[in-house]
Structure 1
Amino acid sequence: MVVQPVSPQVVVDLLVDLAASLEPGRRWRIVIDGAPPTRPGALADALVGPLRAAGRPVVRISAGDFLRPASLRWEHGREDPDAFYDDWLDLDALTREVLTPFGPGGTGRYLPSLRDPVRDRSTRAARLQAPAGAVLVLDGSLLLGRGLDLDRTAHLAVRPATLARRTLAHERWTLPAFARYAAEVDPERGADVVIRVDDPRHPALLRGGTADRA
């Protein structure tokens, strides 16, 4: 792969252009995927204003609001990396309540959140109606290669040593899950856009493979 240094603004502009160029007559699903230290939510948030300025309605959702109950997440202990990878995210609920409504032929009626991850309670959020042409911007970790119906994907990549250094001490037990993700899914080859953020002030685009489709 070829590494192309860019500015953080260029990353935002690239993803906004990618989303704004999509056919306006239908709804689209875009994901920003990355480990927590790469701050995928911050990048997803940065797309909202420019997309709306470009005339595209935007719906912002975080996969972290669609976790399974703690009793299921922690069935094998609170710090099991395989459970973190396989069992924490409620893939069925995310598909049913968000991705399918935004897909071709979907109703556009979606649930903005399912569960408060801190209180471990239902958010009791009401369903909302996404207008035609809306762009769903979803952020989260370990989202690629999971069978989710997504239209465009961006992955925030860091080297294993960088990830270990930037992961908080009480979350380092999750590192084997991200190593497994890299080995089994290889998101740097599967994503439409790959941004290396070992130094978030100086990101770089990885050119090669499917990333060049962007």
Structure 2
Amino acid sequence: MRSAIATTTSEHPWRVGVDGVCGAGKSTFAKSLVRAIQDRGRTVVFIDSDGFHHVRARRHREQGADSARGYYEHAYDFGSLADRVLLPLGPGGDRRYATKVHDLQTDEVVTGQTAVTVADAIVVFDATRNDSVDRVRHDGRSSLGTWLRAGPI
């Protein structure tokens, strides 16, 4: 799979999503994939989903700070991940993407932190499953190269 991804070509960055429940090993797998693709000489962008959280007040508003369900349902700003990363890196996008929209440690909203990548880059991101990201795969405006599901053993 790593070789297949590393040799994929497209007119826009190829986006690879690593999806699964919390603690399934998504980040570990994604970072390993990034290294393997870089070792094959490709430009790789890693998007850390921790830079796409909602602020604490919004995350905790519905079900409190200690709710696992509340975290799962409200922690991530998948709309920003879709609109400010996946779509600009897809067909017709300008390849300018947000590197993060939130600082998890300070709980500050981050604006203007963007980068531009080359057209043949591979973009790897990890995320806990959410319908907003699934929407990007199926809405006809973009297509993700590969979508992996990581689950508990």
The bucket for the TM-score relative to the shorter chain is: 0.7 to 0.9
Aligned to 1:194: none
Aligned to 2:135: 147
Cα RMSD of the aligned pairs, angstroms, is: 2.1
Name the amino acid aligned to 1:111. A
Q: Do residues 30 (structure 1) and 25 (structure 2) align? A: no
Secondary structure of the 1:74 match is: helix
Aligned to 1:119: 106
Flag structure 1 segments of 5+ consecutive residues without an equivalent: 1-13, 159-197, 199-214
Q: Following the alignment from structure 1 to structure 2, what is the Cα–Cα distance between the partners of residues 97 and 114?
A: 9
Deviations 1:123-168 (A, max 9, x none): 456211110111110012224674233331111122xxxxxxxxxx
Larger RCO, structures 1/2 (Cα 8 Å, 6+ apart): 2
Aligned to 2:124: 137
| Contact 2:101/2:113 (<8 A) preserved | no
Could you tell me which of 90, 109, 117 is aligned with 2:77? 90
Name the amino acid aligned to 1:43. F
| Contact 1:108/1:131 (<8 A) preserved | yes
Deviation at 1:52, TM superposition (A): 2.1
Secondary structure of the 2:80 match is: helix
Aligned to 1:157: 151
Deviation at 1:32, TM superposition (A): 1.2
| Contact 1:113/1:125 (<8 A) preserved | no
Give the number of aligned pairs. 145
Q: Following the alignment from structure 1 to structure 2, what is the Cα–Cα distance between the partners of residues 27 and 85?
A: 28
Q: Do residues 74 (structure 1) and 60 (structure 2) align? A: yes
Q: Identity, % of aligned pairs?
A: 24
Secondary structure of the 1:33 match is: strand
Deviation at 1:107, TM superposition (A): 0.5
Q: Do residues 17 (structure 1) and 3 (structure 2) align? A: yes
Q: Which has the larger radius of gyration?
A: 1
Higher helix share: 1
Aligned to 1:195: none
Q: Could you state the TM-score of these two structures normalised by the residue count of structure 1?
A: 0.61
Q: Could you state the TM-score of these two structures normalised by the residue count of structure 2?
A: 0.82
Q: Following the alignment from structure 2 to structure 1, what is the Cα–Cα distance between the partners of residues 118 and 51?
A: 22
Q: Following the alignment from structure 1 to structure 2, what is the Cα–Cα distance between the partners of residues 133 and 79?
A: 42
Secondary structure of the 2:15 match is: strand
